[in-house]
Amino acid sequence: MPRCLFGLLIFLIVFEAAGALPLDAAELVKAADEARFPRGKIIFQVKVEDLIKNKKSRETVYRVLADGTGRSLVETVLPERQQGRKLLMLGNDLWFYSPDIKRPSRVSLQQKLTGEISNGDLANTDYAQDYEAFLIGEKLLGNKTVYQLKLTAKTKAATYSAIDYWIDKQTSAPVQAHFLSVSGKVLKKGFYSGLKNVMGKKRVTLLRVEDAYSEGRSSVMSYSQHKKGDYDDSVFSKESLSL
Amino acid sequence: MTVWGLVKQVMKSPSVFGVIILLALSPAFAQRNLKPAMEWKMDMRSDLGWHLQDAQDLAIHRHQLEFEQIWRTKKHWTFRAGGRARVDGSYAEDSRNSHGKASSGGQEISAREIFAHYQKGGFSAKLGSQTVVWGEAFNSFYADIVNPKDLRERGIGDLAQIRRPIEALNIQYIAPKWSIQGLYLPTFRPNQMPHLQSDFFPSYLSGDLHGVPAEMDLTPVLDDSPGDVGVRVQTRWEAADISFFYMSMIDRQPALDITLTGDVMNPLYIINAKHTRMSAGGLTFSWADDDVVVRAETVMYSSRAMNLRPTPADIASGRFSRIDKGSQWVGVVGFDGVLSKDWVVGVQYSEDILSGVQSSYRAERESMIGLQIAREWEKAGRLKLLFGQMGSDGSYALQPSFFIPRGRALEVGIEGVYFGGSKDSVFGSTQRANRLVLAIRGFFRG
């Protein structure tokens, strides 16, 4: 009898520990993805403010359609002179459409990384799909207890080779990210904030990205107007870009 | 014509304004996928340019306004209507022009895209005046055969500006990895050609007129009733896009029929534009990896009418041109990619080969190598440089442009075109068009 009680006690301790620290890193990243974007077909707007020494140097507004499976369409809304430019991303495949030419053109994966805020940053809704996750541990970041993870790219479609990722233990929302190059150098540092109720769940709506190489240069991405996507799968096709 | 004159002309034209008001009142129109139900676009362009050689006088003084209205229903339907008004400053006198009277200034109002578009799932049907763009190569029209082009300035400028919308029924089915498109074009519209006195009229053709006055009537003379049909199949395979297309069409490009009229003391050439039915088939291809995109396209024209140099017998009978039908094959292959610091660089090589005709005004085989360099800076502006050199005659064309953004809606810039080579070469024949242009572009949206 005492043996049974001892066994039960051990089981309860292990079970309790597992509940307190879920060790599945992939699940953590999935939860953080949900705290960034709603699942399924969505539409949202992103305002990108480029700052030099905290002074706004440029503002661009994009409309993004994404379906959470690596397919996204980014269309420039503002400034007016760039309105109508579109970038379609289907995993590794990218097409660019410009109203000057009125013809979609295939572009190289490099294009995904161009711009202060790379095109990949705008619409990457699914880190869980693009990156392998490893849980490193827990730590205190500011006044928050966070999980520290290392994400490494599973495919070429991933925007970065690796990401150091910190997720709030309490809300499952991402707090901070360091985006790394192939050589492991930090390219950009991202800081998530602006937790708001979006489509029935608390989600981050602000991402400040600091350029690790140019001091004083940063960009703030504000996500808004999230909606369930009422569009057909054919919008994610090269042919639809010019319709 | 004054600007007010232009406005009055627009107001008198078959009005789309009633339709606009009716549609605006319709509750069926509402925001769709974060796009507004009603949207308008107005693009403004002003160009002031000078010739780069000889007199260095005014080459262009143009103001253009392009307007477009878009309406979207809650589901499936989109309507679009647009027009363009252009006032072109006059070139009062051009002493370099051997025909005396210089190119006149002009004003024009033209309808642009006006169509209804229905889309449900992968099915799309578009009816009305529209542009249909095929092809992969940069800054070229090789496979872009559906719409007629405005070639009055030899195709310089934005490709979207140069295409002339054409009435068509355009039906498309789009599946995840392939699509099929069918076209029916009931009417015919020709390419717009440079006027005889224009800077862009080839000097070797002017030379053949031996200084005799000429009148050009570009009213199309067709050898068949209008009605073009076309089909295109596209597929995506791994990192490649491949498409096949075929069109039975009346050639947008005229073969010029030149006859001598008048008497010995007052001779006069009459130039007419003949357009004949032909078929065009080809394929396009593009493939991308991490750094580079390879692009290729080819078109084979069958039964294409071409101008031949007249024989002595032709000249004796008063005909100063001969038109014969032959085949033409054009093909282009190139690659482009992003270099460090966001420089986009592209190189392409093209061949254009005639067969079945002899003694044409052009070489039987023409080849060209093209280079494109472009970069967009965050605040400083965007640079674009296009260079093309004919392998067959060594002539070349250079088109640089640099635009600086001024606020969200405006940009100012400088652009130019420089043709080099002998007077009877492909590019050298329009050397007198060499120019430097100051430009303002405005983009207004609502």
Cβ of B342 within 8 Å of Cβ of A114? The answer is yes
Q: Which of A119-128, B179-188, B240-249 has the lowest mean pLDDT?
A: A119-128
Lowest pLDDT segment from B118-122, B214-218, B352-356: B214-218
* CA gap B280, B289 in Å, rounded: 31
Q: Which of residues 25-44 of B touch A (CB under 8 A)?
A: 32-35, 41
Asked if the model's pLDDT at residue A231 lies above 80, the reply is yes
Q: pLDDT band at A112, cuts 50/70/90?
A: low
Band the pLDDT of A14: cuts 50, 70, 90. Answer: very low
End-to-end CA distance of chain B: give it in Å, rounded. Answer: 29
What residues does B225 pair with on adjacent strands? Answer: none
Confidence class for position B243, pLDDT limits 50, 70, 90? very high
How far, in Å, CA of A237 to CA of A108, rounded?
17
User: What are the strands of the beta sheet with B267-275, ordered from one edge?
Assistant: B214-222, B267-275, B255-262
Q: Is B36 or B13 the better-scoring residue by pLDDT?
A: B36
Q: Which of A41, A61, A108 to mutate to test the interface with B (most CBs of B within 10 A)?
A: A108
Return the amino acid letter for B193: M
Nearest to B136 among A83, A105, A108 (CB): A105
Across the interface, do B122 and A234 touch by the CB < 8 Å criterion? yes
Which backbone phi and psi does B55 adopt, to 5 degrees? -70, -20
B63-110 pLDDT, tens digit per residue, is: 999 999 999 988 889 999 999 998 877 544 444 343 333 444 567 899
B343: number of Cβ within 10 Å: 13
Rounded to an integer, the average pLDDT of A20-41 is 82
What is the value of pTM for the model shown?
0.84
φ, ψ at B231 (rounded to 5°): -145, 145
| pLDDT of B138 above 70 | yes
Segment A120-141 mean pLDDT: 84
Residue B33 clears pLDDT 90, i.e. is over it:
no
The pLDDT of residue B10 is above 50: no
**Is pLDDT above 90 for B59?**
no
Report, as an integer, the average pLDDT of B102-124: 83
Per DSSP, helices labelled H in B126-202 are 159-162
Closest residue of A to B286, CA-based? Answer: A106
Q: Which residue of B has its CA nearest to A224?
A: B34
Question: Would the pLDDT of A122 be above 50?
Answer: yes
φ and ψ at A6, to 5 degrees? -65, -45
Residue of A nearest to B344 (CA): A111
Specify whether the CB–CB gap between B50 and B435 falls below 8 A: yes
Per-residue CA distances from A108 to A27, A94, B228 (Å): 32, 7, 36
Q: What is the pLDDT of residue A24?
A: 87
Q: Does B72 touch chain A (CB under 8 A)?
A: no
CB-based contact B44:B444 (threshold 8 Å): yes
- d(CA A68, CA A46) in angstroms, rounded, equals 16
Q: Which of A39-48, A156-165, B242-251, B407-416 has the lowest mean pLDDT?
A: A156-165
Contacts of B293 in chain A (CB under 8 A): 105-108
φ, ψ at B246 (rounded to 5°): -150, 140
Looking at residues B1-24, what average pLDDT do you find? Answer: 48
- Residue A17: the pLDDT is 44
User: Across all residues in chain B, what is the average pLDDT?
Assistant: 84
Whether residue A3 is predicted with pLDDT greater than 80 in this model: the reply is no
| Stretch (H or E) spanning B307 | strand B292-308
pLDDT at B140 over 90: no
The answer to whether residues B206 and B98 touch, using CB atoms and an 8 Å cutoff, is yes
The predicted pLDDT at position B90 comes to: 54
Question: ipTM surpassing 0.85, yes or no?
Answer: no
Q: What are phi and psi of B144, to 5 degrees?
A: -85, 70
| DSSP 8-state symbol, B194 | P
pLDDT band at A229; cut points 50, 70, 90: confident
- What is the percent of chain B where pLDDT is above 70? 85
Query: Among B24-28, B212-216, B323-327, which range has the highest average pLDDT?
Result: B323-327
B354-386 per-position pLDDT tens digit: 998 876 777 889 999 999 999 988 778 899 999
Mean pLDDT (whole number) for B266-273: 82
Confidence band of A4 (pLDDT split at 50, 70, 90): low
Q: Examine the pLDDT at B126 and tell me if it is beyond 90.
A: yes
Question: How many other β-carbons are positioned within 10 Å of the β-carbon of residue A182?
Answer: 9
Model confidence pLDDT, tens digit, residues B303-335: 999 887 777 787 777 677 778 899 999 999 999
- Six-digit token pair at A51? 């700052």
* Nearest CB to B34 within list A79, A225, A232: A225
B172 vs A contacts (CB less than 8 Å):
239, 243
Per-residue pLDDT band at A93 (split at 50, 70, 90): confident
Distance in angstroms (rounded) separating the CA atoms of residues B307 and B326: 10
- How many contacts does A have with B, using Cβ atoms within 8 A? 127
Is the pLDDT at A206 greater than 90? The verdict is yes
Q: Is residue B241 scored above 50 in pLDDT?
A: yes
Radius of gyration in angstroms for the set of CA atoms belonging to chain B, rounded to a whole number = 23
Least confident of A9-23, A134-148, B277-291, B359-373: A9-23
A61-65, B56-60, B74-78, B138-142: range with highest mean pLDDT = A61-65
CB contact under 8 A, B379 and A58: yes
pLDDT at A148: 92
B283 touches B242 (CB < 8 A): yes
Highest-pLDDT range among A82-91, A132-141, A207-216, B383-392: B383-392
Q: Decide if B409 and A81 are in contact by the 8 Å CB cutoff.
A: yes
Yes or no: say if B99 and B197 are a contact pair by the CB < 8 Å rule.
yes
> B438: Cβ–Cβ under 8 A, 6 or more apart, which residues?
B47, B48, B49, B412, B413, B414
Nearest to B293 among A100, A107, A232 (CB): A107
Q: Could you give phi then psi for residue B254, rounded to 5 degrees?
A: -80, 150
* CB pair distance less than 8 Å for A101 and B160: yes
Q: Which chain B residues are closer than 8 Å to A116 by Cβ?
A: 378
Cα B77 to Cα B389: distance, rounded to the nearest angstrom: 45
